Structure 1
């Protein structure tokens, strides 16, 4: 009578030890148990089909969230555009101005806190001086260095309750900001690129007191941006060149 053959070895786990010299030795159990075709099919479906479904669900949810965010950004852009046309200011005030808050109710009865620019008595008189220095041949770097010599006589910019240093970038920002013409200007940039003045959105009327005249501003602007040869066809902004 023949002795029955045991297949226990076919089901015994194989112990593999890893020791690369850096981590503690670890043990992996490689199960070599023979499985029917149905089990292998189930494994293929679970490892391939389910992740694909998860990826599709994640892609659908991501597209929905992205579409919602784009819609919110579009509405916000439209609201800022309408506020600019109506002479309301958004964002930190330019050097030489401060903001004054107004409570405004719309047609639906919602009350919003909107802001307009008013001259800053400590700093407004320095804006035309900066333009005069530039037109006399001093660049933004020289202007910033001169302003930084005496903070009492030339108060530095004040943003979000904090004082900022005079830098060439700040001085250049003063020289290229059309808000000093007395208008609220929107859409000066697109995708991080400065647009020519003819593409800017201007408020319908003067929004606040101007600190420089159009000829002074556009002369300085043309020196800093000679490739922007055409002024906007806006009556208060100096007319078309």
Structure 2
């Protein structure tokens, strides 16, 4: 599917996976609208072809306004990549007592409901753009995690939210097929994002040692490369693709 001279939305676009994807889409000729929290945008460097928009994905009105901005930019909105997410950890029953219900709800609200919010509102606008070959209009790529399949100790909320994203993929693809919109999900393993920048080199080496091959951490640019490959490959739809070097997470 064509990327040049189209509009694209990337959530969580100010850092990590989202920033790499926004930059890659811009390099391919898209006008990218990077949604993120205002604080994150304030710390993000300027990138040619990328316009930052302050959006909280859990706020339907804010998402609608951001989607309207992207769709009204004078180019057809054809690509959406959902990268916004959070990953706090807490055991269901730990030393401090039972899992905080508000924390569980917040993780699901951001990772799953936020994703669905963007999918729904962006799909409405993509469905309005002119058809390409075989009736296609656009693509939505969501981000899950290998934790959706092998959640570790302390990841009940995160795994449940990302499992929901995996479960959303096929019915969303089926729902949106009549509008010419493909839906795919990437489930990354351990990627060198800003969250890992605060841990020791020894800890990072231990994480890398657990990856069968290649025995290293993934890079945000590799996530972006896969996302663009999914955009290009018109017959991929309704699938979740693991990006993990054959990693299968241990309990801890």
TM-score range, shorter chain: under 0.3
Indicate the structure (1 or 2) with the bigger Cα radius of gyration. 1
Calculate the TM-score normalised by the size of structure 1: 0.23
Higher RCO, Cα 8 Å, sep 6+: 2
